[in-house]
């Protein structure tokens, strides 16, 4: 958000109302006047909410900057920071003073020995990543919510010739970690695998039903269905390929293949951070079309290695400019870095340029514009 404010100033554009569509990460929707200056090829389904004033409420950032946030979010400013409460009064997340993002504080199965998980939906509603979704959230999978999603997708399709990315989520790895806490779920996978399978089976019941409804609602108007599951660290996967194959790959395959079954014209993308080259063979076998954000600074994620080993089987959506280069590089270094990555990833086909993950708050507009100038000058 801070980088967006600076970018608009650098482009000579008037101040934005700052529509924070991703409340947890404090990400804003990009407005049309910026897209006119920096053309892109893809928009997110939530983009249509720039034209829905009733969706937003006024809020202020910690420094007093006015902004807009989704009207359904009830955030309270306390002495120690900004918090969101769950339905039964516990704090589910906090953005402490001086911080830029919200952090999860409630892990509903962290101290539980439950093995039936009959209350899974109630528990998931205590998790910030489940509760505080991006637009069209809080529209749900009931009749009214699905009608809203379809209306949104149809309206956006009528207004843009860009590819439309619709986030479904379908998180399995992450939702396990959000529910149990990451240290607990790693132990459970090793020591109580049957319990983990029971949890994942319950989660899949919801994902199966919701994915069909989601694709039926928006599939005629969008191009990509987005899934998410971070599985990497800086130095390697969070778990072994064997564990991925046991717990997650069969379920990923079921979800990803279902999209094409429901609508053959749709493509799928998996957002998965970190060093995942040891998992990519199995991820590809599970049927995903593209991977994002291609974190090239991590171990085993060098562009040359990824393109040579996997480039004929999947598209790389990202990896265009590493965050550390965009933050601290000179204009010349950024240009050389971007050209190098485009040259490698774009050989043949299967490359969609994107900066590696979000543009961070300390990226200068000069460096951001240098990155896009390099893309326009060298890409195709």
When pLDDT is averaged across residues 25-31 and rounded to a whole number, the result is: 96
Question: What is the percentage of the chain residues whose pLDDT exceeds 70?
Answer: 100
pLDDT at 278: 98
379 pLDDT exceeds 80?
no
When pLDDT is averaged across residues 303-326 and rounded to a whole number, the result is: 97
| pTM metric for this prediction | 0.96
Neighbours of 92 (CB within 10 A): 23
pLDDT at 81: 97
When pLDDT is averaged across residues 14-39 and rounded to a whole number, the result is: 96
Asked whether the beta carbons of 82 and 103 are under 8 A apart, the reply is no
1 pLDDT exceeds 90?
no
Residue 143: which pLDDT band, with cuts at 50, 70 and 90?
A: very high
- The enclosing H or E element of 365 equals helix 365-378
When pLDDT is averaged across residues 79-92 and rounded to a whole number, the result is: 95
Domains of the chain: 38-50+109-378 (3.20.20.210)
Residue 241: which pLDDT band, with cuts at 50, 70 and 90?
A: very high
Q: Give the whole-angstrom CA distance, residue 195 versus residue 175.
A: 15
Asked whether the beta carbons of 165 and 42 are under 8 A apart, the reply is yes
Helix axes 193-218, 173-180, angle to 10 degrees: 120
Question: What is the percentage of the chain residues whose pLDDT exceeds 90?
Answer: 97
Q: Give the whole-angstrom CA distance, residue 200 versus residue 183.
A: 17
Entry field: residues in the chain: 380
162 pLDDT exceeds 80?
yes
């Amino acid at each position: 958000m801070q980088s967006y404010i600076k970018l608009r100033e650098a482009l000579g554009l008037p101040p934005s109302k700052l529509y924070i569509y991703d409340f947890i990460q404090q990400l804003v929707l990009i407005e049309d006047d910026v897209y006119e200056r920096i053309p892109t090829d893809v928009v997110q389904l939530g983009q249509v909410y720039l034209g829905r004033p009733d969706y937003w409420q006024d809020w202020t950032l910690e420094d007093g900057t006015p902004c807009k946030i989704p009207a359904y979010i009830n955030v309270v400013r306390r002495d120690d920071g900004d918090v969101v409460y769950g339905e039964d009064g516990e704090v589910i997340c906090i953005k402490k003073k001086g911080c830029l993002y919200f952090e999860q504080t409630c892990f509903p199965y962290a101290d539980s020995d439950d093995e039936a998980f009959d209350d899974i939906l109630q528990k998931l509603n205590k998790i910030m990543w489940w509760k505080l979704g991006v637009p069209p959230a809080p529209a749900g999978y009931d009749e009214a919510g699905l009608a809203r999603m379809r209306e949104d997708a149809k309206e956006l399709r009528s207004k843009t010739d860009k590819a439309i990315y619709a986030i479904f989520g379908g998180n399995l790895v992450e939702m396990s970690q959000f529910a149990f806490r990451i240290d607990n779920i790693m132990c459970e996978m090793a020591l109580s695998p049957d319990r983990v399978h029971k949890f994942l089976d319950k989660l899949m019941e919801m994902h199966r039903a919701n994915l069909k409804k989601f694709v039926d609602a928006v599939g005629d108007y969008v191009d990509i269905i987005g899934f998410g599951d971070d599985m990497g660290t800086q130095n390697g996967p969070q778990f072994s390929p064997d564990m991925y194959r046991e717990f997650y790959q069969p379920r990923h395959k079921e979800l990803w293949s279902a999209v094409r079954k429901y609508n053959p014209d749709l493509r799928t993308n998996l957002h998965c951070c970190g060093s995942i080259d040891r998992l990519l063979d199995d991820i590809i076998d599970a049927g995903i079309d593209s991977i994002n954000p291609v974190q090239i600074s991590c171990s085993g994620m060098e562009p040359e290695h990824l393109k040579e080993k996997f480039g004929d089987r999947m598209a790389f959506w990202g990896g265009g400019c590493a965050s550390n280069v965009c933050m601290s590089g000179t204009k010349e270094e950024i240009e050389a870095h971007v050209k190098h990555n485009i040259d490698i990833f774009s050989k043949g086909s299967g490359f969609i340029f994107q900066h590696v993950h979000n543009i961070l708050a300390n990226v200068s507009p000069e460096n951001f514009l240098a990155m896009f100038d390099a893309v326009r000058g060298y890409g195709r």
